[in-house]
């Protein structure tokens, strides 16, 4: 990766990490973007500061992202939201620690 690419991806992961630390809004979107960025940076993001995002994605890959929620029934959304809430609580400490580490390693601001 050239220096410009590194700067761009560092900015992107810092922005995503901050968004997750600030709010659970678009949680799955941010988790996915951080996992993808980690894979882009390392080729294989397991055993890196991005590891937890792959774990969370594997636990949530069946849950609807915001852009497809309109196709789900209210009952299905209620079940999905409850499951996501439980996953967020379960992984919160690990996710927050990973976001903090990302900011330490990749935040150039």
Is the pTM of the predicted complex or chain greater than 0.85?
yes
Quick one: CA dihedral 39, 41, 43, 48, positive or negative?
Answer: negative
| Confidence at residue 32, expressed as pLDDT on a 0 to 100 scale | 96
Domain extent, residue 18, equals 3-106
Residues of the chain with pLDDT under 70: 108-109
> Which pLDDT does position 2 carry in this prediction?
78
Neighbours of 13 (CB within 10 A): 25
17-38 b/e with 16+ CB inside 10 Å = b? bbbbeeeeeebbebbbbbbbbb
Question: Closest Cα partner for 90 from 26, 14, 27?
Answer: 27
pLDDT of 109 = 55
Domain count, the chain: 1
Q: How far apart are CA 99 and CA 107, in angstroms?
A: 11
Q: Which of 86, 94, 104, 106 is nearest to 20 (CA)?
A: 94
């Amino acid at each position: 990766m050239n220096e410009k690419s590194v700067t761009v991806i560092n900015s992107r992961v810092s922005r995503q990490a901050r968004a997750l630390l600030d709010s659970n809004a678009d949680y799955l979107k941010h988790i996915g973007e951080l996992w993808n960025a980690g894979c882009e940076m390392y080729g294989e993001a397991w055993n890196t500061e991005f590891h937890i995002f792959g774990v969370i994605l594997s636990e949530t890959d069946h849950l609807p992202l915001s852009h497809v929620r309109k196709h789900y029934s209210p009952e299905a959304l209620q079940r999905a939201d409850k499951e996501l809430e439980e996953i967020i609580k379960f992984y919160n400490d690990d996710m927050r620690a990973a976001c903090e580490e990302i900011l330490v390693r990749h935040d150039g601001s």
